[in-house]
Copies of this chain bind each other. A is one copy, B any other.
Amino acid sequence: MQLTTASAYRRPCTSANGHLQIEMDSLGTFRRYDADETVYCQGGAADYWYRIVDGAARQCTQISDGRRQIMDFLLPGDLFGFDASTRHECSVECVASNTTVARYQRQQMESLMESDPPLARRMREIAFGSIDRLQARMILLGRSRALERVCGFLLELAHRVQVEAEGTVALPMSRYDIADYLAIAVETVSRSLTTLRSERVITFFDARHFRIIDRRALEAHCCR
């Protein structure tokens, strides 16, 4: 289970969350979204916590100059919607069609935490883990080159999503989304992918499906 923000290298989902998941599940309501539908808006009331059940979403902020920063891609199992304030700092929009999201009343969750300290502790650990991952992401954005970022992203994705037959990985998001996630231009994303393809590090089945040929080379490109 993951909190709100991604890192270059997520750890695999631990099964230690079963408890939290089960306690929460009875209190959630489910909803299905189309691609590009909004789950909640930046500035909206932060009255619920959420979890991705199926599909994919992006968590993003609008910057004053019109650009967009994607804070995280949300995949099945990820928890999100926490904010220190009573208003959301980010918007969340679905990337894939038929994305299913579970929603939990914030007040109810808070009460659940108060009455169940081990659960609260688990939640604290998730938050601390999220901070660790955000710090790794800070290094990615602050200290690495475009090609390194793209390699880090591909490895992260391959690690998180269900790998299909023969190691094929689906890219649910567009090049534009990837660019806004890595804080580089679309053209640079495209060029980096072309480079990796021409170096036979990855192959593409089509624009949205790739396979890692040389994982070693991909890892070698990464910073830290």
Contacts and interface: CB of A to CB of B under 8 A. Distances in A.
Interface string A56-71: 0000010111010101
A146 interface: no
Contacts of A84: 125, 128-129, 131-132
Nearest to A115: B117
Contacts of A69: 138-139, 142-143
Contacts of A183: 142-143
A5 B128 CA distance: 11
A118 B131 CA distance: 22
Interface of A: 3-5, 61, 63-65, 67, 69, 71, 82-85, 89-90, 110, 113-115, 117-118, 120-121, 123-125, 127-132, 134-135, 137-139, 141-143, 183, 223-224
Across chains A and B, which 8 residue pairs bring their CB atoms closest together, nearest first?
A142-B183, A84-B129, A127-B127, A141-B142, A114-B117, A134-B134, A84-B128, A120-B120
A115 B120 CA distance: 11
23 contacts: A61-B135, A61-B139, A63-B139, A67-B143, A69-B139, A82-B128, A82-B131, A83-B132, A84-B129, A84-B131, A110-B121, A113-B117, A113-B121, A114-B117, A114-B121, A123-B124, A124-B124, A124-B127, A127-B128, A131-B134, A138-B138, A141-B141, A143-B183
Contacts of A83: 128, 132
Chain B CB within 10 A, most for which of A115, A128, A223 = A128
A71 B132 CA distance: 11
A129 to B, nearest CB: 4
Given A120-B121, A224-B64, A138 B134 contact: yes
